[in-house]
Chains A and B, each alone.
Chain A
């Protein structure tokens, strides 16, 4: 029996879809059976981020309306055999699926997969309610901005109201240089405010734009900082204790090390 995890943030544009794609690809890369569910009906995007947009035949609403069998709608990733996607519908709206249908769907999926990861739409309306209906745990995503942190706090409250307790936090798009200069809230500041457990910190990285352009998850890129950060996050999600990496390329410790290495 697998686990159903919803990835949510409240605010849009903080990187939910990218995070879902990378966590999914990361878990599948470690040999786990993973199903990603795009719950953002009407604004389908997970397919294009994963580079699977040309292979969609059926979508989530075809499954809930019983136009097709669940297996027919699942798209297998070309790079990872164990990664499957249930795409959202693009021409319908959030009312096309009900929370009851989502619960049924999630129950069916977790029979088959070790991890079922749901990409939640932005907002707190029906789309959110649908996305969390079948989930038993959650990952809350934020960026170090006042608007995103405030929305994350609201979402944590709403998750509790839906009886999804102890969410795990991912801080995305952190810029270590700005944090060091006192111009961006740091990891401790955000944890202090939200009072939740930290799962991962992903640094701002141009490479995410480059890999997403090509429809490839950055988690597969062995050299990028964000790829490493996602690999660490995936291992923590599995329960491993992974220390947080030094995001600070020109940080104090790194500079000190350079000075000693020079000798």
Chain B
């Protein structure tokens, strides 16, 4: 009976194994969010490709970065638009 009670208490989120798991999950969000400069360049090139189907952009001032904040990782892109394309034109291809 005592064992049984102890078992219930140990499922409590304050057990050290749960603390370990939670800490690990947090730290891995950051660890995994790192992206190599080469991969980021590939991502940029592909982004430009897709976006230029719809609008003209300033390719030189395009900024793409991964942003780490607390428990979240965000992909932040700053893309200055020069001119919109006519949608009917770009859709005619399909």
Instruction: List the interface of chain A (C-beta within 8 A of B).
Output: 145-146, 149-150, 153-154, 157, 179-186, 189, 192-193
User: Is B20 interfacial (CB 8 A cutoff)?
Assistant: yes
Residues of B in contact with A (beta carbons under 8 Å apart): 6-7, 10-12, 15-18, 20-21, 23-25, 27-28, 31-32
Residue contact B25 to A183, C-beta cutoff 8 Å: no
Let me know if A181 and B27 touch, CB within 8 A: no
- The one of B16, B17, B28 that contacts A153, using a Cβ cutoff of 8 Å: B28
Known: A149-B24, A150-B24, A150-B31. 13 other contacts (CB 8 A): A146-B23, A179-B17, A180-B7, A181-B10, A181-B15, A182-B12, A182-B16, A183-B15, A183-B17, A184-B16, A184-B17, A186-B17, A192-B21
A181 contact set on B, CB distance < 8 A? 6, 10, 15
* Chain B residue with Cβ nearest A186: B17
Of the candidates A153, A157, A180, A193, which one forms a contact with B21 in the assembled complex, judged by CB atoms under 8 Å apart?
A: A193
In the assembled complex, the CB of B85 is this many whole angstroms from the nearest CB of chain A, namely 37
Instruction: Please name all residues of chain A whose beta carbon is closer than 8 Å to the beta carbon of B11 when the two chains form the complex.
Output: 182
For B12, list chain A residues within 8 Å (CB). 182
Interface of B is mostly: helix
CB distance from B63 to the nearest CB of A (A): 25
3 nearest CB pairs, A to B: A182-B15, A182-B10, A185-B17
Which of chain A's residues has its CB closest to B4's CB? Answer: A252
Are the CB atoms of A146 and B20 closer together than 8 Å? yes
**Which chain B residues border A145 with CB–CB below 8 Å?**
20
Shortest CB-to-CB span from A156 to chain B, Å, is: 10
Contacting pair A150 B21 (CB below 8 A): no
CA distance A182 to B16 in the complex (A): 6
A150 to B29, CA, bound (A): 11
Instruction: Indicate which residue in B10, B21, B28, B31 contacts A185 across the interface (CB closer than 8 Å).
Output: B21
Q: What's the Cα separation between A145 and B20 when bound, in Å?
A: 8
Within the assembled complex, what's the spacing in Å between the Cα atoms of A180 and B11?
9
A192–B17 Cα gap in the complex (Å)? 13
What residue in chain B is nearest A147 (Cβ atoms)?
B24
Report the Cα distance A145→B27, complex, angstroms.
Answer: 14
Q: Bound complex: CA of A186 vs CA of B11, how far in Å? A: 12
Report 5 cross-chain contacts, Cβ distance below 8 Å, ordered by A residue: A157-B32, A185-B20, A189-B17, A189-B21, A193-B24
Looking at A179, A182, A186, A193, the one whose CB has the most chain B CB atoms below 10 A away is A182
Chain A residues lying within 8 Å of B7, measured Cβ to Cβ, are 180
- Given the complex, which residues of A lie within 8 Å of B23, measured CB to CB? 146
Contact A182 B17 (CB under 8 A): yes
Determine the residue in chain A with the shortest Cβ distance to B27: A150
| A residues in contact with B25, CB < 8 Å | 193
Measured between beta carbons, the chain A residues less than 8 angstroms from B24 are 146, 149-150, 193
| B32 CB contacts on chain A under 8 angstroms | 153, 157
Whole-angstrom CA separation of A157 from B31 in the bound complex: 10
Which A-chain residue is minimally distant from B36 (CB atoms)? A161
CA–CA, A157 to B33, complex, Å? 11
